[in-house]
Amino acid sequence: MLAKTWCVAVSIVLALGVVAATVSSFTTGGQEEPPRKAVPKLDQAQREAIVAAANTAIGKHLRAERKKDATDNIDAAFWGEAISKLKPIRVWNDRVNVAIVLFVKEGVEEGLYVSIPISSYAAGLGDRFALMTRLGTEQDKSFGTLYHYKAQPTSK
């Protein structure tokens, strides 16, 4: 009798394992990557360093000779340590503000955006940005404001 009970228990455990594996493959799409957080959590010192590096990068970029095919891309030599540590896909000049692209999925870029006070362009939600969330606080001592941004999907 004990052997029969033991066999039934093992059969139930194995069946539950098969069901769990089957459900898991349906709910995750089988081979999808785990979700990636596009923007890291940053403390005040890191936020201030990124804003300072963006100011330096845009200043150097505006004075430098640019490649004709990528005039808005800021050369990696100008990024500085704080931006380089983020391992961006690219960094670009957006009307004298700085976009730091950290993640691209299905053509939609996401990352950090530094609004530089000397720029006359104030980025916001609308035709170009689906998300623009301020990351800095009033205590941040930086010349500019740091945002988490996500671009609007471009129509194909």
Indicate if 69 and 22 belong to the same structural domain.
no
pLDDT at 12: 55
- Cα separation, 136 vs 132, in Å, equals 12
- Enter the tokens of residue 108: 């939609």
- Enter the tokens of residue 64: 């430098």
Indicate if 27 and 67 belong to the same structural domain.
no
Rounded mean pLDDT of 31-42?
67
Q: How confident is the model at residue 155 (pLDDT cuts 50, 70, 90)?
A: low
For the chain, how many structural domains are there in total? 2
Comparison of pLDDT for 63 and 121, the residue scoring more: 63
Rounded mean pLDDT of 114-130?
85
| Amino acid, res. 44 | Q
Indicate if 91 and 120 belong to the same structural domain.
yes
Indicate if 86 and 112 belong to the same structural domain.
yes
Q: How confident is the model at residue 46 (pLDDT cuts 50, 70, 90)?
A: very high
Task: Give the pTM.
Answer: 0.73
Strand 90-94 relative to strand 97-105, pairing: antiparallel
User: Residue 153 pLDDT more than 90?
Assistant: no
Indicate if 120 and 95 belong to the same structural domain.
yes
Q: Are 57 and 98 in contact (CB under 8 A)?
A: yes
pLDDT at 2: 54
Indicate if 71 and 126 belong to the same structural domain.
yes
- Sheet (strand 90-94) strand order: 90-94, 97-105, 108-115, 145-151, 129-134
pLDDT at 61: 94
Indicate if 28 and 93 belong to the same structural domain.
no
- Look at residue 147 and tell me if it is in a domain: yes
- Look at residue 38 and tell me if it is in a domain: no
Question: Structural domain of residue 28, as residue ranges?
Answer: 1-32
- Enter the tokens of residue 116: 């530089």
- Look at residue 144 and tell me if it is in a domain: yes
- Look at residue 88 and tell me if it is in a domain: yes
User: Residue 51 pLDDT more than 90?
Assistant: yes
pLDDT at 27: 39
